[in-house]
Chain A
Amino acid sequence: MIPNKNLLCQIFFVAVLFWISCTKVNLDNAELGDRTADFAFPLFSTEIKLGDLLVNLLNDTLSGDTIFVNPDNSVTLFYSGDVAEKKASDIFGFLQVGIFPMGDSVITTVIPGPTGVGVRVVDLKAGTLYFSLINTLQDTVTGYFDLPQMTKNGVPFRTSSFTVAPGKSWNSGVIDVADHRLNMNNNQLSFRYFAYTPNGNRVKVPNLSGFDVGVAFSNLKFSYLEGNWGNQEYQLTRDTIEIDINQTNLKGDVRVTNPKVTMRILNSWGFPTRGVIKYLGFIGQNGEEIPLNSTVFQQSPNGTRYVDFAYPLWSAGEVGQTKYTDIDLDNTNSNIADIFNSQPTRLIYEVDGISNANSDPDVIGFLTDESAIRLQIRVELLLEGSVRNFGAEQTVPLDFSGMSSLDSAGIESVEFKLVTENGTPVDIDGQIYFQDETGQPVDSLFERGQSKIMTSAPVSNGVATDQTRTENFISMNAARFDHIRQTARSAFMKIFFTTAENGQVPVRFLADDSTTLKMGIRVKKRSE
């Protein structure tokens, strides 16, 4: 019995030892067992400021236009035409070259000046004078020429003396007349010469050929011109301003609360000038002409619209100054608001000028060589208004290569979480189309078509006061997710803006209004 019991015990202990060895577990390479785990992690976030967005949407194809952020962060769009500059010298010419034969020892001639201008003072900044004499007498003559109306530092001009034998000639050589002043009487200038025979008698040298005695001007340029200004009409500018604020082919209703067209004239012409509005109107989306009518212009008896530009007064000693004339056309004095509701595409304007339009004979005016009229018209849109389904498009490259470590073999499903935190007074509906490398759509983010991506922030007095959070969950099965991940190379975003309260109330867009767009992902993954 006992040996049998010992045997049983021995078997028992052997069994226990065997069990011990069986229960040894080495977890150096331990792995988790089969399961479906749910992992969540962030993908990306970005903050888009309204100012940046506007710059891109509205400004990228309109070189020369500007977006101005006002001190209160409101945003003004300026669509500007070219600056039309007319220098006075372009319109009002002055004698440059002239030859004046002297049939007598004193001649008075009319110097050609600007049309309609009775010149009385000219300050020369460049030019030359040339006197010549051929002695047609039998005696030697001595003498000089002078031009008492031309002075320098108060000293009348006079040539050097000449002595010319019979049949011989003399010339003064080229005389520089820069910095000389001409004091004329209604454009008239007198030239004289004094010739004496050896016995002291003053004589007149016969001008037999018509060119034996004379004076010539060359390259005269004035720095200042003063006189009585007459009535003269001339062309100032004609230009076109592109103002298409909808850069896309998408439709949308845009209402700008207070559009303006501003006309600024910078004038340093020293005489009255009238701007005549020859044409001012918009071109609509379908090419139709829409005249811009305004009560801000005066109207002549013949129906011409005009505005008299401010100018520096000679009588007030305002030589060299520039005077400004600003003309604002807005919804209080024009039909511009109505025009902008139809989303015009361009503004065309043509302005001519008339000097001394009232033909006042007592008008004393002036010009300097720098005098000019600069005229600029611009369309000014304070971004305050409303839009409804205003469209915009953007294509953003995509790169999912960084997600290559996500082993899709075990993925059962993914769920994207798209979050917007919107600080703008705008709702955005939209759709994102995933495109392959050739630009062909391979899928879209929202299976049911465009969705609300973000909701307008709360609005008070037209201004966004807080943020509104909008969440979208986009579920995809593994196959769809894999397809997008492997084929999508860009995202074509088609979005539609509608301002607060479905575009029924005007809102103000502030440059620092911003929206945060971010996305996370949950992946249900089977681990085996």
Chain B
Amino acid sequence: MSHQRYPSTHDAVKEPHSVSLKVLRLSRPSLVTQFPLQPPLSATSVPSTGRRPPPIPASLAYDPRDLLRDGTLTDPPAVNPDPFILSPIVNLPPSFGSAYVGETFSCTLCASHDAFGSVVSSDEGDVSPPATHKTIRDVRIKAEMKTPGSGTVVTQLELIGPDSSPEDDKKGGVDLAPGATLQKIVNFDLKEEGNHVLAVTVSYYEATEVSGRTRTFRKLYQFICKASMIVRTKPGLLSATGTGKGRRWVLEAQLENCGEDVMQLERVVLDLAPGLGYTDCNWEASRSAKPVLRPGETEQVCFVVEEEGEDGKGVEEEEGRVVFGVLGVGWRGEMGNRGFLTTGKLGTRHVKPPASAVVKKIAA
């Protein structure tokens, strides 16, 4: 899965384990690309006129036809939109990819009773018949995540099984026949930049005809979580509406995609302190399309923040600062992968209106 891993030596016994652990990061599956080719491919045929023939099936992401028992081919339903580059068939994630703050990290953990005898650390190796008659019972998986800011504290991860319910600890482990796999899924919300370590512990009871023992091993998967968005904000004072209401500010923010993937902004919201309200001045207000940001591109958003009461009643102020609240940004990445982050507390220095000279100073 990840870039590095450190085999751990929990077991004093050097004998290879009968259970293997494999992991796959479950980012969204990806639509498979295709480059449809027009017949004729042969040198002798003459270009035809009239309706375009269907593309060569081998150039499509999958063969849309069905082979009937009598050897004839069916007419495909028009699901695969040739000659378009994207097809509706999906691939599992080919690699770990990049992990970004704001996204949910999903990963599947597979503990298998390796059917081909003892486990060796490499994929290479001869096919040996099952060497011993080992029975594998009571297989348990435990997963923890260590985050950069957590110090020595680790987060215990909830394991999700096929019935989508959290694992019941009292239920105990699972017995695995040769070749069988225990599959679990973990989810973790990435909130910090930096080194994360997923630690997976597998324990099982290995019984031979004459004896039995409990064995445990642990694997560490390290990955780096990066920021995918930089948020820069700037508050400014607006003149009051004159209707006798409270003060007004404009809060601008630049959202920069600093990741490596295209993202589409879904929503920007303010979560304001009591006594404040806001007007959204962005794509939802203008009913325009949601902005798409390619890597390195920036979108500017804007809100009008307004005191709901008069004369600053109910607005929290700390040492001459008006605290607005936090800005939340939600986006979707490739194949709908969700991201959401909130800023720290935003605010502005308290200014008694009308004081245009001071306003200029702040804006400068």
Check if A and B associate: no
- Chain B interface (Cβ < 8 Å from any Cβ of A): none
- Chain A interface (Cβ < 8 Å from any Cβ of B): none
